[in-house]
Amino acid sequence: MDAELEQRIVKRASELFLMHGIKSITMDFIAGDIGISKRTLYEVFRDKDALLLKTLAYQEEKSREERDKLALTCTNPFELGLKEFARISQAIRRVNRNYMRDLQKYHPKVLPYLEANRKSNTEGLIRLTEEGIREGYVRPELNGRLLALILQAQFEILMNFEKIEEYNFSFSEVFETIVINFARGMATQKGLELVDNYLSKKNE
């Protein structure tokens, strides 16, 4: 298999899925957009689910690289959490609102991957909140593991497409509301200063 061709397909398919949703982007369209035959595309990826799984792994790797770069600019875990959530919020703004709906409705084979990824993200949140407690940014009477689990559960509101659309909320608005309210609720005075600083820069 041509690794360079595979990477080119994955990168472009990822961009197309995020911009337009998954259902509307066919394998024929991807092949034509990249400038290869449909046969060549199917020689690299046996079906759309196989390609979709590769795009999810590609997106996760990119996200991890960006998170690692952010970590180099931060002096504490609470600051890293705020900057990471700001990065995710910006990324969500560029995602077609049908993307996650299409994943869940039309591609159940990829759901185990998403669940494994969710568990990994939850463990990361647990480490972050527990470090925040140790360093005085998160209230010490709170349980770091429980905080992370509750926050992850709140993020799953984003999967409730009907309610979001019924009230005409954007995904980024819901995400930011969850993060800011949760961060302020669990922060010490030291942590609140970081939240207020983040909000003042965001509103400039």
Residue 1: predicted pLDDT: 57
Are 49 and 110 contacting, i.e. CB atoms less than 8 angstroms apart? Answer: yes
Residue ranges of the chain whose pLDDT lies below 70:
1, 160-161, 203-204
Rounded to whole angstroms, the Cα distance separating 75 from 98 reads 37
Ranges in the chain annotated CATH 1.10.10:
1-61
Specify the pTM.
0.89
Residue 132: predicted pLDDT: 95
Rounded to whole angstroms, the Cα distance separating 59 from 46 reads 20
- Three-state DSSP class for 138? strand
Are 17 and 25 contacting, i.e. CB atoms less than 8 angstroms apart? Answer: yes
CATH architecture of 1-61: Orthogonal Bundle (1.10)
Residue 169: predicted pLDDT: 83
Sequence-separated (6 or more) residues with CB below 8 Å from residue 194: 76, 78, 79, 82, 137, 187
67 burial level (CB within 10 Å; 0-12, 13-18, 19+): middle
Q: Which one, of 93, 98, 94, lies nearest residue 25 by Cα?
A: 98
Calculate the alpha carbon distances from 20 to 90, 131, 170 in Å. Answer: 17, 38, 16
